[in-house]
Amino acid sequence: MAAPLPPGTPVRVRLDWPETRGPAHVRTPHYLRGRAGTVARYLGEFPNPEDLAFARPAPKLPLYHVRFDQPSVWREGGAGDELLVEIYGSWLEPV
């Protein structure tokens, strides 16, 4: 596997909707699709739940804790508040 993204790396969650193309199980929340964030920490490699959900062989994917500015995502909420969400590397693209 390529070296994990270091903390502080700016990333964007891919604006993609696999659910619209057929049966899918996606653990990247809708509210974060297309949103910009920052890598907080690399959490390790874990089997892809999108495959486990259909009892398919599941390759391991890098998992990151990614930080998002909360008011930017929801347009309500306190300035400086954050969301910290586990996102698989396959869902992140460089900014």
Partner 1 sequence: MAGTGVNVLEADSGRLLAAVRAVLETKGLVRPDEIAERIAITDAATPAQGARMIARAWVDPGYRALALSDGRAAAEALGIPMRGALPLGVLENTPETHHLVVCTLCSCYPRAVLGYPPFWYKSAAYRARAVRDPRGLIAEWGTVLPAAVKIRVVDSTADYRWMVLPMRPAGTEGWSEQRLAALVREGDMIGVTVPTAS
Partner 2 sequence: MCEPVDKGAHALTEFDRDVDGLRQVLGLKGIMSVDELRRGIEAIPEPEYHRLAYYQRWIRSIADNLLRKGVITEAELRAVLERG
Residues forming the site for partner 2 (CB under 8 A): 23, 25, 49, 52-55
Q: Report the alpha-carbon distance of residue 24 to residue 67 in Å, rounded.
A: 25
Q: Report the alpha-carbon distance of residue 55 to residue 51 in Å, rounded.
A: 6
Is there a contact between 43 and 58 (Cβ–Cβ < 8 Å)?
Answer: no
Please select the residue that binds partner 1; options are 5, 11, 39, 73, rule is CB under 8 A. Answer: 73
x/- map, 25-64, partner 1, by CB under 8 A: --xxx-x-----------xx-x--x-------------x-
80 scored as a contact of partner 1 (CB under 8 A): yes
The Cα-based distances of 28 to 16, 42, 50, 78 in angstroms read 10, 16, 10, 23
19 scored as a contact of partner 1 (CB under 8 A): no
Provide the binding-site residues for partner 1, judged by CB under 8 A. 27-29, 31, 43-44, 46, 49, 63, 70, 73-74, 76-78, 80-88
